Amino acid sequence: MEWILENVEETSLLHPETFIIPSEQERSTQQPGKLVRLHFLLTNPGEGGPRAERMWVEVTGQDEVSRQYTGILTNAPEYLKTLKPGDTVHFEARHIARTLLREGDPLWLAVGEKLALVSKKCLEPGSAVHWMYRQTPEREQDSGWRLFAGDEDEAYLNNSDHVRLMHVYSIMDKDPSLLEPFKGEIGSAFERESRDGEWKAVRDWVPEEEK
């Protein structure tokens, strides 16, 4: 066979900080019409070529007993020759690397596919985001969001090894409570006192570029 589907659950366990996938509940309850991203691993990748093609599949059904999904490939593969748009693909929750939300979905965000700058302290076990603000984006793929644990000092943040760029939806997969703050406009800022605390808008925060 030219390809196999990547078990993203195993990959996420091996690389928990860099390979973030939707929750098990979300991956197990996809409905017909939803779009999910699967990783098609090439069994014999060419030299200099990719290890996988990451493509979107539209869910068409799910077996009630096996919980296996069926779907239709929506992308045109660049490297795989045995697949084409419209082909049927069988997959399981363990293969879903990303879900795509459409506008109108309660979890949809205008900046969901864009990037945010995240302090690595937010990703440490037992930690979380406590302070976040949105500045004017620096480029097209930048959401403008900057997220912090709240106890970083200037020296820590000045070290580029201590910050990461992450997709907004990937951050939400780790902490769904960020949904409402992420709806904030440029110039918004939010804080909370604890991991489970209520988010509060910070009214007197001024973006750096306006000071």
Q: What is the pLDDT of residue 211?
A: 55
Burial 140-173, CB ≥16 within 10 A → b, else e: eebbbbbbbbbebeeebeeeeeebbebbbbbbbb
What are the residues whose beta carbons fall under 8 Å from the beta carbon of 4, sequence distance 6 or more? 40, 41, 43
Cα separation, 204 vs 66, whole angstroms: 54
Max CA distance (Å), the chain: 60
Torsions phi, psi for 98 (to 5 deg): -155, 150
Cα separation, 89 vs 58, whole angstroms: 9
- Percentage helix, strand, coil, to 5, in the chain? 20, 30, 50
More confident residue, 66 or 18: 66
pLDDT tens digits, one per residue of 126-141: 889 999 999 999 899 8
Confidence of residue 208 (pLDDT cuts 50, 70, 90): low
The model carries a pTM of 0.63
